[in-house]
């Protein structure tokens, strides 16, 4: 069993609640808003097109905006060097797309964009843990760059709780694998046997809590 916590430090040297280094680059192009967000070694681009007229009349609504998301995660993006099975990658991408649509359908001021559609395109360039939360953060930045009005700015993080197990004593230090909460998981931690959850927070207003937001605010991801 791998050791996640040793001498008050995680496997990559961080403290339990310490985040990885975050870099954000605003990209030029045809999109209304486009960013490259890097959290640690995880790299995700998000591009926003819209608002524009809905492609289908059935998607039009006089009171809210229609939000779509396309989430692309190629099987070779993992820093482990292993190719993921295409079926599992497609299934996860479909689930992530639906959740991102639910989150931002709730956050975008629909009354400002009636009968309109906003498209979000997520491209995972490299995955080294906390991929989904990085994608949500990138989408928030891209929407803000595009000038889309939102009730708040979504901020996400993937948190893990390890099982309660103690490893052997090494020299005079104890290696703990258990009863710990880790923020912003790296790939090594995600591949360990810990429970994971991606949490979406609204920093500025706790008032924008609806049933749909509550359903989309936390996406449980249990390790195999």
The predicted-structure confidence for 70-105, as pLDDT tens digits, reads as follows 999 887 777 665 666 666 678 889 999 999 999 999
- Flag whether pLDDT at 147 surpasses 90: yes
pTM (2 d.p.): 0.82
Is the N-terminal amide bond of 82 cis, ω within 30° of 0? Answer: no
pLDDT beyond 70 at 168: no
Helix, strand or coil for residue 169? strand
Domain of residue 212, CATH code: 3.30.230.70
pLDDT of residue 205: 61
| Whole-number pLDDT of residue 189 | 87
Distance CA 31, CA 27 (A): 9
How do 42-53 and 33-39 pair as beta strands?
antiparallel
Residue 181: give the domain boundaries.
Answer: 5-222
The residue ranking higher by pLDDT, 110 or 175, is: 110
Inter-residue contact 136 to 103 (CB < 8 Å): yes
End-to-end CA distance of the chain: 14
Does the pLDDT value for residue 178 go beyond 60? Answer: no
Q: Shortest CA distance to 155 belongs to which of 203, 113, 93?
A: 203
Number of domains composing the chain? 1
Of the two residues 66 and 86, the one the predictor is more confident about is 66
Higher pLDDT, 210 or 29: 29
Rounded-to-10 torsion of CA 34, 108, 41, 170 = 170
The C-alpha angle with vertex 159 and arms to 157 and 164, in degrees rounded to 5, equals: 175
């Amino acid at each position: 069993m791998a050791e996640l916590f040793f001498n008050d430090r995680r496997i990559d040297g961080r403290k339990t609640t310490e985040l990885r280094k975050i870099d954000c680059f605003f990209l030029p192009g045809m999109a209304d808003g486009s960013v490259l967000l890097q959290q640690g070694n995880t790299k995700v681009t998000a591009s926003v097109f819209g608002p524009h007229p809905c492609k289908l009349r059935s998607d039009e609504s006089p009171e809210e905006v229609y939000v779509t998301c396309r989430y692309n995660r190629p099987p070779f993006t993992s820093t482990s060097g292993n190719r993921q099975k295409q079926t599992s990658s497609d299934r996860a991408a479909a689930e992530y797309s639906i959740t991102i649509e639910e989150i931002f359908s709730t956050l975008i001021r629909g009354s400002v964009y009636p009968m309109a559609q906003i498209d979000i395109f997520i491209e995972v360039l490299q995955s080294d843990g906390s991929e989904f939360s990085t994608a949500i953060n990138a989408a928030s930045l891209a929407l803000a760059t595009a000038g889309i009005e939102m009730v708040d700015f979504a901020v996400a993080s993937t948190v893990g709780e390890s099982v309660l197990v103690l490893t052997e004593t090494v020299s005079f230090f104890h290696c703990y694998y258990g009863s710990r909460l880790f923020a912003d998981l790296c790939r090594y931690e995600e591949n360990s046997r810990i429970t994971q959850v991606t949490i979406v927070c609204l920093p500025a207003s706790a008032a924008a809590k609806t049933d749909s937001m509550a359903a989309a605010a936390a996406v449980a991801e249990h390790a195999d």
